[in-house]
Amino acid sequence: MIKIVLFESANDTSGTTIEAKVGQSLMKAAVGANIEGVAADCGGTLTCATCHVMVREPWLSQLPAMTDDEDGMLDFAACARHANSRLSCQIKLTEGMDGMQVDLPASQY
């Protein structure tokens, strides 16, 4: 198991730490931990953008490049995308992501 820290707002300085299994998606880990800021309406099929997150460095630069499909879907996110925006359904967790810090958008809708 690895730990991921999710921050719900700019004012959230401590975040919520969840435990996740290596190999599962960040989206499934967040949903399984009842993180309200990850709606995941499509269940991870890359047909919505309700699992939008912003991944902090140094973890962002360690992620595989996003696909064209993920890039296009982020254009439909409810909150404006940032340079570090990703869809959490497309982030497969690895041992190297232990301690990863992720910001949640103000809303997924």
Give pLDDT, residue 12: 86
Given a cut of 90, is residue 10 above it in pLDDT?
no
- The radius of gyration computed from the CA coordinates of the chain, to the nearest angstrom, equals 12
Cα-based distances in Å from 18 to 27, 44, 85, 99: 12, 19, 20, 10
Domains and CATH numbers, the chain: 2-103 (3.10.20.30)
For the chain, what percentages of helix, strand and coil (3-state, to nearest 5) are there? 20, 20, 55
- Mean pLDDT along residues 33-46: 95
Give pLDDT, residue 11: 82
pLDDT tens-digit map of 61-106: 999 999 999 999 999 999 999 999 999 999 999 999 999 999 999 9
User: Nearest 5°: phi and psi at 61?
Assistant: -70, -10
- Mean pLDDT along residues 16-30: 98
> Across the chain, what does the average pLDDT equal?
96
CA dist., res. 108 & res. 45, Å (int) = 16
pTM: 0.95
